[in-house]
Structure 1
Amino acid sequence: MRLKLKLSSHNSTRVAINYNYSLSSAIYQLLNFGSSSFSKFLHDIGFVTSNKTYKLFSFSLQLEKYLLDEDAFILKSPVAYLYITTPLVDDFIKNFVIGTFENQRIEIMADNIFTYFKITQAEILPSPVYTQEMKFKMITPLVLSTGKLVNGKFNQYYFRYNDSMEEINRVFNQNLINKYKVIHKKDYSGTGVKINWDEGYIEKALKKDKRLSKKVSILKDIKNPVEVIGIFCPFTIRGDIELIKIGYECGFGEKNSMGFGMVDVFN
């Protein structure tokens, strides 16, 4: 299920570029108004399978009008929209909606920039019609990674669009299968999915020197930020409808609860 919140900035004119961690924290705070136990469980523990932890939600903040400064978005309109997506209707959506009515505000603090939004409206968005072949555009970057052995040590490597599609699809599928396991509480026995990038989009982007990847700093500890690299490119997905639905509702790829992997149908 997907929610759309209309926000209005209150005495705030700037939003930090690296707002992801702070906005994720604000979402947990709203959940806390509905159920402190669920909010604490999701934040501290989450859903675990195959030694991986999943929070099963993602989000995207869309500013109506802005200019880009060195370290911030300069708001030219007070209006913004926060999109939340999750399959956890009873636990997440219900408690989050309670939180929006109880608190009616979202505060973001990152890079010493404080932004205060009032929540002015909330609505449930209709789900798409899921088919065995769909085309999606990224609303937020898609993060996929693997371990690579460098000088005798395993390091985390973030995939780029021009890496091996076989490896990308392997990691992409395993992520969806793990989410399937925690949502349905059983092993997956289907045939998976396959994605292909939009080659026409890539060709046009490269001609315009437009970046197809994006680096975002996760500022849990401002002195030691975690640098995450995500892919920003439309893709076609073919295969198991259930996995496609899970990706749409949870976010595709990794670090969804930090605001990555959210998509919309690309017509």
Structure 2
Amino acid sequence: MRFRITFNTERGALRLPIHYNHLIQGAIYANLDRVTADFFHDRGFEFGKRRFKLFTFSRLMGEYHLDKESGEIVFIGGVRLIVSSPSHEFCSSLINCILGDGHIRLGSQQVEVVGIEAFEPTPTSDQVTLRVLSPVVTYSTMTRADGRKYTCYFQPGEQDFQSQVFENLKKKYEIIYGQPAPVAPMQLRPLGQPRMNLVMYENTVIKGYTCRLALSCPKELIKVGLDAGLGAKNSQGFGCVEMEEVVAC
């Protein structure tokens, strides 16, 4: 399930650092009940040696301009945010807390929630076009000859990007449904030139990509991607996507 949350700042403009993902993530955790927040923040869902938080969120959407002198992004008027998760507990807690308070705090600013829409995107085909709402991240940790580790990021159109997205979806599917993911041919290709996005998250630079994506795979896996996000670092505000239309891959 996903929510489209609309809010206005009580000061007439919402000023945030350009790299604001951590503020959105913090606001989400702050609007969950204590038990749910502790679980998603501290534990998540285990799969082997990895843990998955199974929620994602978009960039903020609305009219804005960049204040280069202050290093801030300034939103004017209504601002929209998409939050998505396959977890009923997460969704129920988030919606109840936000409705009960009526406000969200983003850093030092309090914004008024003026609308919440809940909807359940359900793919009806194995072939869809996806619009990327926050950069998709795929990467591997490599080791140099001298033993030092470094991160290698992949971009849409590369085989490693496609394979990592699908392996990630399969793991999420198994966590959610408790059984292996369906086996079928899969393809993921960019439509147009992908745009690289460098995002600073808590003193770490993360590289992700935005573009439209043509996705062909079992619709059950498409559903997982819509609910839990594509790629890695979803709970930090990466990999949120929405369906655009049915296409031939």
TM-score, scaled relative to structure 2 = 0.90
- Percent identical among aligned pairs is 23
Residue deviations 1:1-39 (CA, integer Å, cap 9, x gap): 11111101122541221111121011011112xxx1121
Distance 1:63 1:236 in 2: 23
Is the CA contact (8 Å cut-off) linking 1:214 and 1:231 kept in structure 2?
Answer: yes
- Is the aligned partner of 1:160 residue 2:155? yes
Instruction: Report 1:112-191 matches (<5 A).
Output: 114-151=108-145, 152-161=147-156, 165-191=158-184
Is the CA contact (8 Å cut-off) linking 2:19 and 2:201 kept in structure 1?
Answer: yes
Unaligned runs of 5+ in 2: none
Instruction: Report 1:206-225 matches (<5 A).
Output: 212-219=195-202, 225=203
TM-score, scaled relative to structure 1 = 0.84
Give the corresponding residue for 1:78: 77
**1:54 Cα deviation from its structure 2 partner:** 0.8
Aligned residue identity for 2:227: E
Is the CA contact (8 Å cut-off) linking 1:133 and 1:237 kept in structure 2?
Answer: yes
Aligned residue identity for 1:20: N
Distance 2:8 2:218 in 1: 39
Is the CA contact (8 Å cut-off) linking 2:131 and 2:211 kept in structure 1?
Answer: yes
1:239 to 204, 217, 223: 217
- Structure 1 pair 169–29 and aligned structure 2 pair: CA distance change class (3 A): same
Distance 2:5 2:93 in 1: 15
SS of aligned partner of 1:252: coil
**1:50 Cα deviation from its structure 2 partner:** 2.5
- Write out the 4+ residue segments of structure 1 that deviate beyond 3 Å after TM superposition: none
Distance 1:158 1:85 in 2: 24
**1:192 Cα deviation from its structure 2 partner:** 5.8
Number of residue pairs matched by the alignment:
241
Superposed CA RMSD: 1.7
Unaligned runs of 5+ in 1: 203-210, 220-224
Instruction: Report 1:70-109 matches (<5 A).
Output: 70=68, 71-75=71-75, 77-89=76-88, 91-109=89-107
SS of aligned partner of 1:31: coil
Structure in which a larger fraction of residues adopt strand = 2
